[in-house]
A and B are shown apart, each in its own frame.
Chain A
Amino acid sequence: MIAGNPMIPDGDPTTLTEAAHLLRAGRVTAVQLTELALRRSVALQSTLGAFTTITADRAMAAARRADAELAGGIDRGPLHGLPIAVKDMFATADAPTSANSRAFRAPWPADYDAPAVGRLRSAGTVLIGKTTAGEFGCGEPQPGSGFPFPRNPWNVGHTPAGSSSGSAIAVAAGMAWGALGGDTGGSVRGPAAVNGITGLCATLGAIPTEGAVALSWSMDAAGVLGRSAADCLALWRALSTDRHRADPDTVTTVGLGEQRMDSPATVRLGVAEAYFLDDPDLQPEVLSGIRDAIEVFRGLGADIADVRVRWPHEAKQAATVITLAEGFHRHRRNLSDRWSEYGTAARSFLARGAFLTAADYLDAQRFRRQFSDEMAAVFRTVDALVVPSMKTEAARIDRTDLEDRFRGRNCTRQWNLAGLPSLSVPCGFGPGGLPIAFQLVGPPNSDEYLLRLAEAYQTRTSWHLCRPPVMSTA
């Protein structure tokens, strides 16, 4: 039985996978898909602020090239000819990179593509623009920054979360069929969760982050956003490095041995009740959405076990200490020279690193090893963990408490600390009608395994196919 509340319109393809199928069936062209994506992007820009730059001319040229290649028998794979958006932290040869900051000066030549962007181009994608983000990846964007201000497409009075805000909005509102993001503490999974799409924070280092604006050198990971897990899987396969990518037919992952994922019948799924599900701050709708998701997995044949994760609170704090210390180190000279060019939220965040000592930082790094060992022990007993992505649906934009923003409503930072892949999957709607999600977490290099687990879940549910009403206006 299909659960959820599908609002699937006739006409344009909802998922990247569907768009790829229509393209190959000759029922749509890359040019038509790109025209649709650009039309929506332009029409919704003033409302949703998803883009810092829309590269319409170059996108149309790329789409024409993709169609010509397909007509000539050249097929670059499942992403060929599909409009994709890129977080404005990654260098692209056809558009400037802003990092959403007036203080940023690009350290690379104007015609430089970050390796991840180069991989997307090699896969035949059509890059339609650069997406808005939190300044230098520091949390959520702020109004008055001089850059377009992103808003949640499900309710523009609410935040799209950050920092990969525009990437999530673009996918959720049908302006792109996939997007590239960055995730230091939840910047892909948070926006994915509150915008109702699927988002993977890849295993640390699995998607190259060279040519991306760094926040925290030892914590920065890249990720992908798509409407479905299958969409994210196609993006993941195009972007991940060979040593991290599993054979497409036989998933080989650390801690799992060699195991086919045709069915989740053999999956041992850990549910972290303590700290994560018994958190009084967890919105009841989020909790029931996760409980329903667990039952879907159980119905698919997964074994469910309660799992205790040691030090989840300290792990979140250690991730904060490391990010602040490394962020301050990265920005120290710029902050000194161009303090007033930074937005107030970013400079407040980054300056906190000045208050930490080398001993604090090193303790956090030592703890990181302990926590990674702890997670390795957890993944000897289960194949993946189920935890919340965000504790609540998206908050209102007009809340002004900076500390609340920094403290976060996420359950994501812990996994960055251990370099683990983690995936946010839509599982319903909150009390205000905004999307909610759960998170799957696995051992290093289990990215594909998690995506296929979520794919199995999404064969039984349709939350990921729901589209925000604002799409009907464009």
Chain B
Amino acid sequence: MSAAIATDTATNLMELQMTDQDLLEYARRLVDHAGLPVPEAELRDLAQVLPDLWQQAAAVSAVVTATPPVTAGTEEVTAP
């Protein structure tokens, strides 16, 4: 859980296989960071949708990752 930070991608977060309590704490940190006054009961409901949400985002990222961009300037640059 300690590895999970707000800038982690959905793909990375899914791999952490958080417990319900981890999910709740993670959700709490993010809504606190966003300044949202979410009541505890609603926070619990929101925390439960996190895996599904991450799964959706990760599925999209997987397609993008499997199809590297060909646009000039986006390829990895290696020093000579």
Which residues of chain A come closer than 8 Å to B9, judged between CB atoms? Answer: 357, 359-360, 363
- Chain B 24-65 near chain A by CB (<8 Å), digits 1 or 0: 000100110111111000100110011011101101111110
B10 touches A357 (CB 8 A): yes
* Distance in angstroms between the alpha carbons of A313 and B27 in the assembled complex: 26
A314 touches B57 (CB 8 A): no
Contact of A367 among B36, B53, B60 (CB under 8 A): B60
- Chain B 10-31 near chain A by CB (<8 Å), digits 1 or 0: 1000000000000000010011
A-B pair count, CB < 8 Å, reads 89
* Distance in angstroms between the alpha carbons of A320 and B10 in the assembled complex: 14
A313 touches B37 (CB 8 A): no
Q: A38-46, A331-339, A375-383, A433-441: which one contacts chain B? A: A331-339
B64 touches A370 (CB 8 A): yes
Query: Given the interface contacts A317-B60, A357-B7, does A403 sit within 8 Å of B67 by beta carbon?
Result: no
* Distance in angstroms between the alpha carbons of A72 and B17 in the assembled complex: 73
Which residues of chain A come closer than 8 Å to B50, judged between CB atoms? Answer: 355
For chain A, residues 312 to 359, give those with C-beta under 8 angstroms from any C-beta of chain B.
313-314, 317-318, 320-321, 324, 328, 332, 335-336, 339-340, 344, 347-348, 351-352, 354-359
B60 touches A357 (CB 8 A): no
Interface size in chain A (residues, C-beta < 8 A): 33
* Distance in angstroms between the alpha carbons of A328 and B35 in the assembled complex: 12
Closest chain A CB from B76 CB (angstroms): 16
> Counting CB contacts under 8 A, is A311 at the interface?
yes
Taking A347-B42, A354-B31, A363-B64 as known contacts, 16 extra A-B pairs with beta carbons closer than 8 A to each other, sorted by chain A number, are: A314-B60, A317-B57, A321-B56, A328-B34, A332-B35, A336-B37, A348-B45, A351-B31, A351-B36, A351-B38, A354-B30, A354-B33, A354-B34, A355-B54, A359-B61, A367-B64
